[in-house]
């Protein structure tokens, strides 16, 4: 971590560069972070294939989150089943510094104009829920009621902005 922990980090977004992918791979390979996100880590080949595919999709908006000059994570939005979905991943070494909150606010203001936009969050991921709520998202209980049981057995909450 760079800088004084009492000073909020400078957070900016930029296009994803090839060199970022290795950093993202390390973030998602962290077992603590994967458990919090309730998303299984991919091996290197699976991860590279995933990023190649999503970077080639012109309807997906992907950005690298840079905090105090270091790659801290990624954020993106995409269309799925008639909804605009949003997701982000912050490296664990950057948790608790307001980076996700500031990155999400920037992303929504500068990169993703579509509303409504939805985010699915594992029910145990209180930190991510707080980030979404600070950005104006609210629980969408109606959508949750109509969701099929999760294939992976991990219950989720659905949050929405602008509906």
Could you read off the pLDDT of 83-98 as tens digits, one per residue? 999 999 999 999 999 9
pLDDT in tens, 37-64: 988 899 999 999 999 999 999 999 999 9
Q: What are phi and psi of 150, to 5 degrees?
A: -65, 140
The rounded distance, in Å, linking the Cα atoms of 129 and 158 is 10
Mean pLDDT of all residues belonging to the chain: 93
The predicted structure's pLDDT at residue 8 = 85
The rounded distance, in Å, linking the Cα atoms of 153 and 128 is 19
The predicted structure's pLDDT at residue 1 = 46
**Percent of the chain whose pLDDT exceeds 90:** 86
Q: What is the pTM of this model?
A: 0.92
């Amino acid at each position: 971590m760079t800088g004084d922990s009492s000073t909020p980090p400078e957070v900016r977004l930029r296009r994803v560069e090839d060199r970022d992918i290795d950093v993202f791979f390390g973030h998602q390979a962290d077992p603590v972070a994967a458990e919090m996100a309730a998303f299984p880590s991919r091996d290197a080949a699976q991860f590279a294939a995933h990023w190649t595919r999503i970077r080639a999709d012109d309807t997906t908006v992907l950005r690298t989150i840079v905090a105090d000059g270091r790659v801290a994570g990624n954020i993106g939005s995409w269309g799925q089943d008639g909804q605009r979905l949003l997701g982000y991943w912050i490296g664990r070494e950057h948790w608790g510094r307001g980076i996700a909150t500031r990155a999400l606010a920037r992303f929504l203001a500068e990169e993703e104009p579509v509303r409504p936009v939805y985010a699915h969050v594992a029910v145990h991921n209180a930190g991510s829920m707080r980030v979404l709520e600070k950005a104006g998202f609210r629980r969408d209980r109606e959508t949750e009621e109509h969701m099929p049981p999760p294939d992976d057995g991990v219950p989720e909450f659905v949050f929405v902005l602008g509906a």
